[in-house]
Structure 1
Amino acid sequence: MHLPKPADMFDRTWEWTQLTRFVLDEQPGASLGIVSGRRRQGKTFLLEALCEATGGFYYAATEVLSRAEALRQLGDAMGRHVGSPGTIRFADWDEAIDALLALGNDRPAPVVLDEFPYLVHGTHELPSLIQRALSPRRRERLRSRARILLCGSSISFMGNLLMGNAPLRGRAALEMIVPTFDFRAAREFWGVDDPRLAALVYLIVGGTPAYKSEFLRGVVPASVADFDDWVIEHVLSPASPLFREVRALLAEDPTLRDTGAYHTVLAAVAEGNCTRGSIASRIERKATDISHHLTVLADAGLLTVEPDAFRQNRSAYRITEPLVRFYHSVMRPMYAQLEQVRPGRTERIWKGAQPRFRSAVAGPVFEHMCRTWTHDMAADETLGGMAIRVLSGVVHDPASRNSHEVDLVSFDPDGNLLAIGEAKWGDVVGMAHLERMEKIAAILKARDQEPKVITLFSGTGFMPALEEAAAKSGGRVQLVDLERLYAGE
């Protein structure tokens, strides 16, 4: 059975299909699903729409709930849902869970417990109680077709519900992470036609839908010429919700207890320190002292750890959310000054921050966009095969004893090297860039790792000589500008 996607839901077709397939399953017996994803991605919107479309039950927990208060609020929500003439009160969570299961006695029905980590904060044994209630041969479970969905914004917490020896391991029939929009979907969501303007907006706010729909109430820069004014008024202004958003993101995650330390680590990464050792050196700590912080930030979805394409046992940490990178590169160093609003001050701060914005924000985020294009959007014919892994890496030249950084390295399913590439946001790319990549290709050829294709990306354009060389290369040299990045293969 299929439920049409709500008319006011942008994108999320795959997520909607998975959720409706799960909740409409006619198989007997209650089942469990886990939904997670960083805040502001539209999880609540999805689940509320699902319950509205199916007549399901939705309950969102609130922060710092005691066990008694959580049960009281749940009983009130249950009473409203079933239209009870009196007050529903649960003596304990065992009774409450059985009541939730009973909502599916007559038909398959979603039962959503949103902000689930708040409930566990007040009742640590709640996952074990749900496990017991969903025992395979338990009568209450067998006669129910409730589709219980536990949802939370702490990716690490929600993921750990099903890991190792966790009580709910092996119980979930659905585990779904709601991602941010990629740069193409973000452009469509923001309604920006100009690819350069779309890229500029993405460099700051990324693909988080709530930043447009809730934080900025749909305010979009009208043109590239209007972009600076938009940043000054809607991102760098203390009156804008985006101004304190990054602080809120860390404060709201229950796994991030010492937020000051985590901000310090993120700031070091935003400055370009990508290895564990360089991050530790920047903040004057031992590498072992920050291992926990790096792991927690990665589990929370704020950092990603990417292996080097060519060097074993070497990896790089990257910030996943553009706004977090923008905050630590542009806003945090001048936060006190930005808070003290004075005529013309924010304009001067933004003007002075342009070098940092280009190097620490635009460059790395643009590289990420290019890796996304290579992995998800480029045709197999463009790269000489299907790109399964797209990484960055460092190639050592034994002849000159120099090392060369490569922004994009793509591999096929068998681990064969397909393409190497370079991405430049602010440079007009010319023959010198191609010659550098050809030199790296020659080094790799000597190792029997010759790339089939060289890809050159630019947010500014290409010199005529390079365009001519690419046209004569028979497809070996691929040039990708913003037009192709957003619309081509």
Structure 2
Amino acid sequence: MTFYDREEELGTLTTAAESPGSDFIVVYGRRRVGKTELLKKFCADRPHIYFLASQEAEHRQREKFLDQVADYFDERVPRIDGWDEAFEYLGEKLQREDLVIVIDEFPYLVEENDSLPSYVQGFVDQALDETDSMLVLCGSSVSTMESEVLGHESPLYGRRTAQLDVTPFSFQQAREVISYEITDAIRSYAVTGGTPMYLTLFDYDQSLAANIRSHVLSPSAVLYNEPEFLLRTELRNPARYMSILEAVAMGHTTPNEISGATGIDSGPLSKYLQTLRRLRLIERDVPVTASGKKSKRSRYRVADEFLRFWFRYVEPHRSSIEEAPAVVYNGTIEPDLPMHVATTFEDVCQEAVWEGIRQGRFDPYSEVGRWWYGEDEIDIVGLAPNDDRVLLAECKWTTEPVGEDLVESLQAKAESVRWGPADRDERFAVFSKSGFVDGLDTQLDDRWSLFTLADIDDILTLT
């Protein structure tokens, strides 16, 4: 897979490697986000041992680890019966040469021996500490890495010198990969999200429809069953979690709505939602003006665009896809896709606001998010408490140019946003896929900013 971006992560690893003393780095994140490619890129021009764990019996895992250590030092494989002795052997070798040691998919080792973090602790404290070497533990099971490596009760707690939570690309970062023009780039991102492996599977010389049919709707394609594999990485019994994700993807966003759609009572549902949040599979939103995290006006959303697409269009129609994928695409996905993309477009516009703030195209705002109250909703609201300034913005993924009706609607809803003093400074923005009716810009005062897709692309173009 081609390596993209990750300059910040590479910089963190490089700085650690070039500083004196030993380092213990923890790298984690969901499957397919590019952790392995990042570590291979980092190790490419450095002396290193890279060990990729697999789901095998403990003795086979240990034998393969020792094979790689012995092979690097051109020695015969020693006869060793435990992980404690294996790390002692590695520690002895590091007295001769400083290396980067990468253990990838560390959770697979912990599955077979839950004492492994204690053995790694002994290695870090006694052997690694006396060298200029680096140990990197990497894993795709976020729950295992957070509990067994980073958690308060882990023997390794407090010993890391750095940690990298590798997340999917934002649209701005993904734009380097997606070579479609801006309209189809946003539509494509609404399908793949920012996971590098998903992004690089698509052939951008083909239409988006062709990519969806060949890479998502084909039962032999990698992405057809990908969410199930992802959930099984973290959960032993994913069925109820899948039903929750499907409900949220279909638009049931409040706890009561999710409970009604899934039949799961509110008590157990709360625990399931908490787990899905911890695994970064769903996000909990509250209005940007809400005080505190305990707001009762919470909504949930699937945190990944591909998962949202899959649970909206693939999971509910599996039987039909097996028989006639083209019918599912033409009859179900294509007509509804603009509704799906509209939500993604709001996120892209929010990215543009943050980037515009960094570039000085927008006044600064310390908080930016969605707002809703009762029947009223505003796609983007920015708050600048120190200046009593508020930004109110709408994002329209429609086939018709935006006109005066939306302007009047946004001004009316602004009165319902209870924030700041009565004489607050109100600024307005509208982002539109299809542009604006002729002359709209001349009718608006300097509190208003209008953005086309070309304007958004210009703001988010990486330099």
Q: TM-score, normalised by structure 1?
A: 0.86
Task: Look up the SS of the partner of 1:263 in the other structure.
Answer: helix
**TM-aligned CA distance change 1:264 to 1:39, over 3 Å:** same
Q: Can you give the 5+ residue segments of structure 1 that lack an aligned partner in the other structure?
A: 1-6, 396-401
| Aligned twin of 1:201 | 188
Determine the C-alpha separation between the residues in 2 that align with 1:406 and 1:266. 24
Corresponding position of 2:283: 304
| Alignment pair present for 1:421 and 2:393 | yes
Q: Residues 157 and 374 of structure 1: is their aligned pair in 2 closer, same or farther, counting only changes over 3 Å?
A: farther
Indicate if the aligned counterparts of 2:317 and 2:328 stay in contact, CA closer than 8 A: no
Equivalent residue for 2:267, pick from 288, 295, 299: 288
Instruction: State the 1:265 CA deviation.
Output: 0.5
Q: Count the aligned residue pairs.
A: 453
**Alpha-carbon distance change, 473 to 157 in structure 1, aligned in 2, over 3 angstroms:** farther
Instruction: Give the 5 Å matches for 1:239-388.
Output: 239-251=220-232, 253=233, 255-312=234-291, 313=295, 314-341=297-324, 346-347=326-327, 349-359=329-339, 361-379=340-358, 381-385=360-364, 387-388=365-366
**Aligned letter for 2:289?**
F
How far does residue 355 in structure 1 lie from its aligned partner after superposition?
4.2
Query: 2:21 aligned with 1:39, yes or no?
Result: no
SS of aligned partner of 1:452: strand
Between the aligned partners of 1:267 and 1:415, the Cα distance in structure 2 is: 42
Distance (whole Å) between structure 1 residues aligned to residue 9 and residue 91 of structure 2: 24
Shift in Å, 1:352: 2.9
Q: Secondary structure at the match of 2:415?
A: helix
Q: Does residue 1:478 correspond to 2:449, yes or no? A: yes
Query: What SS class does the counterpart of residue 398 from structure 2 fall into?
Result: coil
Match of 1:131 among 112, 121, 129: 121
- Secondary structure of the residue aligned to 2:228 is helix
Change (3 A) 1:303 1:376: farther
- What's the CA shift string for 1:271-318, capped at 9, x where partnerless? 112222221122122221112221221121211223322334132222
Deviation of 1:190 (Å) = 2.7
Question: Once the 2 structures are TM-superposed, how far is the Cα of residue 177 of structure 1 from its aligned partner?
Answer: 1.3
Q: Match for residue 440 of structure 1?
A: 413
- Structure 1 residue 247, shift from structure 2 partner: 2.0
Question: Once the 2 structures are TM-superposed, how far is the Cα of residue 21 of structure 1 from its aligned partner?
Answer: 1.3
- What's the counterpart of residue 21 of structure 1? 15
Q: Distance in 1 between matches of 2:174 and 2:359?
A: 24
Deviation (angstroms), 1:204 = 0.4
- In 2, distance between residues paired with 1:33 and 1:231? 37
Contact 1:441 1:451 in 2 (8 A): no
Task: Out of 287-296 and 373-382, give the one that drifted further.
Answer: 373-382
Which of 4, 8, 12 in structure 2 is aligned with 1:10? 4
| Map of 2:216 onto structure 1 | 235
**In the aligned structure 2, how far is the partner of 1:54 from the partner of 1:102?**
20
Alpha-carbon displacement from aligned partner over 1:74-112 (angstroms, at most 9, x marks no partner): 11222222222x223432111222333345434542111
The answer on 1:118 being equivalent to 2:126 is no
TM value normalised by structure 2 = 0.90
SS of residue in 2 equivalent to 1:179:
coil
> Equivalences for 1:457-468 in 2 at 5 Å?
457-468=431-442
Structure with more relative contact order (C-alpha pairs < 8 Å, separation 6 or more): 2
Residue identity opposite 2:31 in structure 1: R
> How far off is 1:62 after superposition?
0.3
Is the 8 Å Cα contact of residues 288 and 367 (structure 2) preserved in structure 1?
A: no
Q: Is the 8 A contact 1:72 1:89 kept in 2?
A: no
Counterparts of 2:387 and 2:167 in 1: how far apart (Å)?
27
Q: 1:413 to 1:171 in 2, by over 3 A?
A: farther
Structure 1 residue 133: Cα displacement: 3.1
4+ residue runs of structure 1 moved beyond 6 angstroms? Answer: none
Please give the root-mean-square deviation of Cα atoms over the aligned residues, in Å.
2.5
Alpha-carbon spacing, 1:286–1:445, altered in 2? closer, same or farther (3 Å): closer
Measured at CA, do residues 415 and 348 of structure 1 come closer, stay the same or move farther in structure 2, by a change above 3 Å? same
Tell me: CA distance 1:465–1:159, structure 2 relative to 1, closer, same or farther (3 Å).
Answer: farther
Change (3 A) 1:340 1:8: closer
For the residues of structure 1 that align with 2:27 and 2:330, how far apart are their CA atoms?
38
Deviation at 1:416, TM superposition (A): 5.3
Residue number in structure 2 paired with 1:166: 154
- Identical aligned residues as a percent: 26
CA offset at residue 413 of structure 1? 7.5
With 69-78 and 101-110 compared, the bigger mean Cα shift is at: 101-110
Change (3 A) 1:459 1:48: same
Structure 1 counterpart of 2:183, one-letter code: R
What's the counterpart of residue 68 of structure 1?
59
> 1:142 and 1:184, CA in 2 relative to 1: closer, same or farther beyond 3 A?
closer
Structure 2: distance between partners of 1:127 and 1:417: 50
Question: In 2, distance between residues paired with 1:445 and 1:277?
Answer: 25
Contact 2:302–2:308 under 8 Å retained in 1: yes
Shift in Å at residue 147 of structure 1?
Answer: 0.9
Closer, same or farther: CA 348–336 of 1 in aligned 2, 3 Å: closer
Determine helix, strand or coil for the equivalent of 1:149. Answer: strand
Q: Residue 72 of structure 2 corresponds to which residue in structure 1?
A: 81
2:52–2:103: 8 Å Cα contact kept in structure 1? yes
Partners of 1:247 and 1:368 in 2: how far apart?
25
| Partner SS, residue 225 of structure 2 | helix
Measured against aligned partners, the alpha-carbon deviations of 1:305-361 in whole angstroms (never above 9, x if no partner) come to 2332233413222212111111111112211111124xxx514543333343222x2
Structure 2's unaligned 5+ residue stretches are none
Q: Secondary structure at the match of 2:223?
A: helix
Matched residues in 2 for 1:116 and 1:204: separation? 30
Instruction: Show CA shifts across 1:183-238 (max 9, x none).
Output: 1221221333x11121111110112221243x44xx2244xxx3323322332222
Q: Which moved more, 1:460-469 or 1:296-305?
A: 460-469
1:220 is the counterpart of 2:221: no
Q: Distance in 2 between matches of 1:374 and 1:380?
A: 10
Q: Does 1:409 align with 2:381?
A: yes
CA contact (8 A) 1:274 1:318 kept: yes
Q: 1:73 to 1:379 in 2, by over 3 A?
A: closer
